[in-house]
Amino acid sequence: MNLLSACPPGLWMMIAGVLAVALPRGPRRLLLWTAPVLELAHIWILDPGTASALAVAGMHLEPLRVDALSRVFGTIFSIAALLSLIYGSYHDDRVEECSGTVYAGAAIAATFAGDLLTLFIWWEMTAVSSVLLVWRGGTPQAFAAGKRYLLIHVTSGVLLLWGAVEYWHLTGTLAFDHMQLQMGRAAWLIFLAFGIKACFPLLHNWLQDAYPRSTPAGSVWLSAFSTKLAVYALARGFAGTDLLIPIGATMTAFPIFFAVIENDLRKVLSYSLNNQLGFMLVGIGIGTELSLNGTAAHAFSHILYKGLLFMSMGAVLHRTGTVEASRLGGLYKSMPLTAMFCIVGSLSIAGFPLFSGFISKSMVIDAASNAGLLIPWMVLVFASAGVMDHSGIKVPFFAFFAHDQGHRVDEAPRPMLIAMGITAFLCLAIGVWPQALYAILPYPVEFHPYHLAHVIKQLELLTFSAIAFGWLYRRGHYPPEIPGVNLDFDWLYRVAIPGMLRPIRTDVAAAHRWIETRLRAASRTVWTSLANTFSPQAPFGGVISLEQGLIWICLTVAGVLLLAYSG
């Protein structure tokens, strides 16, 4: 077995990320920037079907398993890592670059894990490495959000491990293959672990809590990997699970309402990310070749356009010091290129013809209609109108147009512009030439997005959504952007439950103080008595000779033996 087929893709990125910490800027960048390129080559050198086996303590592990599904996710993760590195090179942040690279490497390695234990290891590695990106936000709020983020992600990992152990007991194997929820607790635990990372409804708040707190580049890194790793895991483990259809449909709809009233534009994008994950989960739940292709394609294009939108808002944050819509406006005058790239991202996410979202989202929606799923289909169309609002219009409109707030700043730094330019090009390339994306999808593709009827329907949907915005805005019905926070489900564990536990916490603290006082008193007593016994002035104190010592030992042993035999 050669080295390439023994090591999972992503491993080198993790090693490079760790080694680079000690290097000065030039060699560090060389090492880090080449790592995703090498990983991409590694992924495409490996043939589908390649696998490596390892026996550990009676368990048969498969650290590497290559197939079409893992390859498409591994590919986009490598591209996203390189783009994030380019984008982040506007400043010299060793921790951000290195932890981001380790994070991306872990996500890539996880997509090639053939067993649940290997998946667990890389799953937890993504959590530990990515929290550093949240903490790089550098504010007390970022630190607190990072702690919550870590707790939730580690919990997801623990559930995955627990599920894996149960699965092993149940089936006698750890192979990460398709499973049914009917299998019982093992499958449900694994499903829940994936669901936490995939932002199932009510489990979603870690995303909106953490991502907007990071640095401009940190958010770009974060937007690409964790949630899409969960999408990959669900696609591999739970394709065709009906429950994912209502879960995904709910996810497409509910974040829209929060995104409309949110003032922090990176938080708007986080809600929007949650909504896009819903489309992917519906595709997994339907479980047909078209829908699974749609999920993989949507994950691929989503990572690019969502990254592009986070990049543009990161550039705005970097230049103006804020991404609050209430403090922005008119920036197209100072940052025309950033505005243009943001609009490309917006057109892509909205699904405008010739842009990537038009291809991938249509595959999922068509799969729903082909399957005759009327209500999920209507929810997806409804959500498409919502996407047009929060990401298609709101983000570019309030940042770059709307009321000019007088920001007169420089255009984004060159590395940011280069990364945004490449990403925008890829968004367009997928839209114009989808065959390249089709070629790497898990199943053969028979899909024709540029059918006239499809184009007309989509143009009607988008145009009349935009007309609705114009009508509401011109008549003053569109909610004004106002500073503040909007409560979401995390209120429960950030305010309500701690509030309920406060009296108990007071009692526990009092009990802790009581026990501590008693223990300190007891230890003082023991210490004093030992000192009194063995101090130089005490009967047993002072220095004794070797012979005296030996006699004491012999007497003690003889005493113990006598006691033992006498019993």
205/210 Cα distance (integer angstroms): 8
Identify the H or E element spanning 284: helix 265-286
Shortest Cβ 459–other proteins spacing (Å)? 5
Shortest Cβ 93–other proteins spacing (Å)? 22
Kindly indicate which of the ranges 155-163, 171-179, 298-306, 480-488 contains the residues binding other proteins, using the contact rule CB under 8 A.
480-488
Q: Is residue 321 near other proteins by the rule CB under 8 A?
A: no
As beta bridge partners, residue 56 has 59
Kindly indicate which of the ranges 69-77, 78-86, 173-181, 252-260 contains the residues binding other proteins, using the contact rule CB under 8 A.
252-260
SS3 category, 52: strand
Q: Which of 464, 514, 527, 552 binds other proteins (CB under 8 A)?
A: 464
Q: Is residue 322 near other proteins by the rule CB under 8 A?
A: no
Contacts of 90 (CB under 8 A, 6+ apart): 217, 318, 412, 413, 414, 415, 416
> Which tokens belong to 207?
């995303």
Q: Which of 22, 37, 41, 467 binds other proteins (CB under 8 A)?
A: 467
Task: Output 49 or 476, the one with its CB closest to other proteins.
Answer: 476
Q: Is residue 486 near other proteins by the rule CB under 8 A?
A: yes
CB 197 within 8 A of CB 133: no
Site for other proteins in 3-32 (CB under 8 A): none
Task: Output 237 or 396, the one with its CB closest to other proteins.
Answer: 396
Shortest Cβ 413–other proteins spacing (Å)? 14
Contacts of 303 (CB under 8 A, 6+ apart): 76, 77, 79, 80, 223, 224, 228
Q: Is residue 466 near other proteins by the rule CB under 8 A?
A: yes
Q: Which of 485, 501, 515, 531 binds other proteins (CB under 8 A)?
A: 485
Task: Output 456 or 538, the one with its CB closest to other proteins.
Answer: 456
| Three-point CA angle 137, 141, 142, nearest 5° | 30
How many chain residues touch other proteins (CB under 8 A)?
64
CB 478 within 8 A of CB 403: no
Task: Output 177 or 507, the one with its CB closest to other proteins.
Answer: 507
Site for other proteins in 493-522 (CB under 8 A): 494-495, 498-499
Q: Which of 1, 439, 477, 503 binds other proteins (CB under 8 A)?
A: 477
> Which tokens belong to 85?
């590195």
Q: Which of 172, 182, 410, 503 binds other proteins (CB under 8 A)?
A: 410
467/458 Cα distance (integer angstroms): 14
Shortest Cβ 416–other proteins spacing (Å)? 17
> Which tokens belong to 552?
């004491």
Q: Which of 45, 378, 519, 531 binds other proteins (CB under 8 A)?
A: 378
Looking at this protein, which amino acid is placed at residue 339?
A
Shortest Cβ 381–other proteins spacing (Å)? 7
> Which residue carries 């003032």 as its tokens?
263
Task: Output 235 or 462, the one with its CB closest to other proteins.
Answer: 462
Quickly list H helices, 7-139: 11-19, 25-45, 68-88, 94-111, 116-135
Identify the H or E element spanning 162: helix 140-171
Shortest Cβ 73–other proteins spacing (Å)? 29
Shortest Cβ 410–other proteins spacing (Å)? 6
> Which tokens belong to 9?
């893709």
Shortest Cβ 165–other proteins spacing (Å)? 34
Shortest Cβ 477–other proteins spacing (Å)? 7
Q: Which of 4, 22, 202, 456 binds other proteins (CB under 8 A)?
A: 456
Q: Is residue 388 near other proteins by the rule CB under 8 A?
A: yes
Site for other proteins in 89-148 (CB under 8 A): 139-141, 144-145
Q: Is residue 447 near other proteins by the rule CB under 8 A?
A: no
As beta bridge partners, residue 175 has 115
Q: Which of 177, 460, 507, 516 binds other proteins (CB under 8 A)?
A: 460
Report helix angle 226-238 to 116-135, nearest 10: 160
Shortest Cβ 352–other proteins spacing (Å)? 12
Task: Output 261 or 432, the one with its CB closest to other proteins.
Answer: 261
Task: Output 93 or 411, the one with its CB closest to other proteins.
Answer: 411
List, as own/partner pairs, every contact residues 394-398 make where C-beta atoms lie below 8 angstroms and the sequence separation is at least 24, other chains included: 394/259, 394/260, 394/265, 394/268, 394/325, 395/265, 395/268, 395/269, 395/272, 395/309, 395/313, 395/342, 395/346, 396/339, 396/342, 396/343, 396/346, 398/265, 398/325, 398/328, 398/329, 398/481
Shortest Cβ 363–other proteins spacing (Å)? 14
Q: Which of 34, 171, 180, 370 binds other proteins (CB under 8 A)?
A: 370
Phi, psi (rounded to 5 degrees) for 282: -60, -45
Contacts of 170 (CB under 8 A, 6+ apart): 183, 184, 186
Task: Output 495 or 544, the one with its CB closest to other proteins.
Answer: 495
Q: Is residue 221 near other proteins by the rule CB under 8 A?
A: no
> Which tokens belong to 514?
């009581």
Task: Output 141 or 535, the one with its CB closest to other proteins.
Answer: 141
Q: Which of 24, 53, 68, 257 binds other proteins (CB under 8 A)?
A: 257
> Which tokens belong to 201?
């409804």
> Which tokens belong to 13?
């990125």
CB 243 within 8 A of CB 297: no
CB 315 within 8 A of CB 216: yes
Kindly indicate which of the ranges 36-44, 105-113, 384-392, 515-523 contains the residues binding other proteins, using the contact rule CB under 8 A.
384-392
| Three-point CA angle 536, 541, 544, nearest 5° | 105
Q: Is residue 391 near other proteins by the rule CB under 8 A?
A: no
Site for other proteins in 275-314 (CB under 8 A): none
User: What is the longest distance spanned by two Cα atoms in the chain?
Assistant: 104
Q: Which residues bind other proteins (CB under 8 A)?
A: 139-141, 144-145, 256-258, 260-261, 332-334, 369-370, 372, 374, 377-378, 381-382, 384-386, 388-389, 401, 408-410, 451-453, 456-457, 459-472, 474, 477-479, 482-488, 494-495, 498-499
